[in-house]
Amino acid sequence: MEIAQRNEQTDGADQVSRARCWFKGLAEKLMHKVLEIASKTKKLGQEDPRRIIHSVKVGLAITSVSLFYYFDTLYDGFGVSAMWAIMTVVVVFEFSVGATLGRGLNRGLATLLAGALGFGAHRLATSFGEKFEPVVLGLSVFLFGAVVTFVRFFPKIKARYDYGLLIFILTFSLISVSAYRTDQVIQMAYQRLSTILIGGAAAIIICVVICPVWAGDDFHSLVASNLEKIATFLEEFGSQYLKASSAELVVNKEFPQGYKSVINSKATEESLANFAKWEPRHGMFRYRHPWEKYLEVGNLTRQCAFRIDALNGYLTSEIQVPQEIGAKIQEICKKMTSETSLALKEVALGMRTMTMPSSSADSHIENARMEAKHLKSLLKTRSWPDSTDLLDIVPVAAVASLLIDIVACTEKIADTVKELAPLAHFKAAVVTAGQQKQLTRQQTHGREETHHIITMGESSPE
């Protein structure tokens, strides 16, 4: 008996301690999870503090529109319809001004048009008599719904007016169908339109006035920074790979991998361009800024990035390049990459500051092209030792060929930026000390600074 009792007691103590352990474990796990989320949140905010500002702006916009409900004088005018204003703010308020304007205008215009058409459909339906009214209404809703849904598949229309078409179907159905029950269609349409206008206006005003995020600015600096990323890679490649190739290929994991984000930037660039097209004149950007040309520059940059991805393969592959060959090509390739990198940085700098590309970019490209010719003629003279194995040449030849491709690509980029410059009203190239300081601050990569200063020094006498 006693033993059994003692056993029970120990069992009970065991269970309690086990339960304690379990709770402790759970609490620890929970704590760990909370800390993880907190650190992720912090990182998200630090990456782009505009996200926090945006969140506050949205909260502010909704609260300010909800004032309609609290003040009697405002509420009496609209009644329950005031909720459309809140809905509009929530649905229309986007991160960038362009996106918000695009959604707001789409929503407003679509509501206006669909309201008018819905009212027309209602009038048409009533003229058919009470019996056929629902049939005509149903048919018109079906037809408009199906046709407009199909129109949403057109790629160009989808890119700019998708939301408008959705709201068109919505409003048309609501107005024409509600009309069957209420006689005050006009008043209903008017209330819906005016509350949407109020909500849209509130969203747009708060979005533009408080720390606006311009999609155009983002797009502009994305294109420039992509160019810079490629330039940085080439610079490092010239100094690292070609140093290594004289002895042995070292797999350097700290190699700048920034170019990888360039490869997948197409979708981001296209959506930013679409938003930017909605934006009015701001800063250096006019209303009809040539965003299409920016997309061209972006596409060429991506083509360059594909080649760089292939180059990167030679950094991580295990092929060893013998010293005798490596050293010969090293010098030329080093010059080629450094000249290409300088040219790309010049072009990126011109883009960033919106100044006419200086002729020093051209001279860098010209130098790179000359080096490419040197490389070709070096390969032609076959000044190789007889013991050279052809297999050893393969990676060197492939790298050389890729570099030649990249030089050609850089030339195309420079040409496109030259076409862009007058269209985008770039300033004449006069670099003041203040601008230079600003640029230096914009560069996050420490090593780039020196190069910019060298570049500026070279370009100033021209």
In the complex, minimum distance from the CB of residue 401 to a second copy, in angstroms, rounded to a whole number: 4
User: Nearer to a second copy by C-beta: 75 or 255?
Assistant: 75
In the complex, minimum distance from the CB of residue 177 to a second copy, in angstroms, rounded to a whole number: 5
| CA separation for the pair 239, 262 (Å, rounded) | 22
Q: Please name which of 142, 139, 144 lies closest in space to residue 125, comparing C-alpha atoms.
A: 139
User: Nearer to a second copy by C-beta: 289 or 302?
Assistant: 302
Please provide the size of the chain in residues: 462
In the complex, minimum distance from the CB of residue 410 to a second copy, in angstroms, rounded to a whole number: 15
In the complex, minimum distance from the CB of residue 178 to a second copy, in angstroms, rounded to a whole number: 6
In the complex, minimum distance from the CB of residue 310 to a second copy, in angstroms, rounded to a whole number: 5
| CA separation for the pair 17, 8 (Å, rounded) | 14
In the complex, minimum distance from the CB of residue 427 to a second copy, in angstroms, rounded to a whole number: 34
Angle subtended by helix axes 390-423 and 215-245, to nearest 10: 160
User: Nearer to a second copy by C-beta: 19 or 74?
Assistant: 74
Distance of alpha carbon 391 from its chain centroid, rounded? 43
- Say how many CA atoms lie within 13 Å of 62 toward its Cβ: 11
Question: Could you tell me if 281 and 320 are in contact, meaning their C-beta atoms sit under 8 angstroms apart?
Answer: no
User: Nearer to a second copy by C-beta: 332 or 402?
Assistant: 402
The region that residue 459 occupies, defined by phi over 0 for left and psi between -120 and 50 for alpha, beta otherwise, is alpha
In the complex, minimum distance from the CB of residue 89 to a second copy, in angstroms, rounded to a whole number: 9
User: Nearer to a second copy by C-beta: 19 or 159?
Assistant: 159
Question: Could you tell me if 290 and 351 are in contact, meaning their C-beta atoms sit under 8 angstroms apart?
Answer: no
User: Nearer to a second copy by C-beta: 4 or 209?
Assistant: 209
User: Nearer to a second copy by C-beta: 85 or 420?
Assistant: 85
Kindly provide the b/e burial profile for residues 140-156, where b requires at least 16 CB atoms within 10 angstroms of the residue's own CB: bbeebeeebeeebeeee
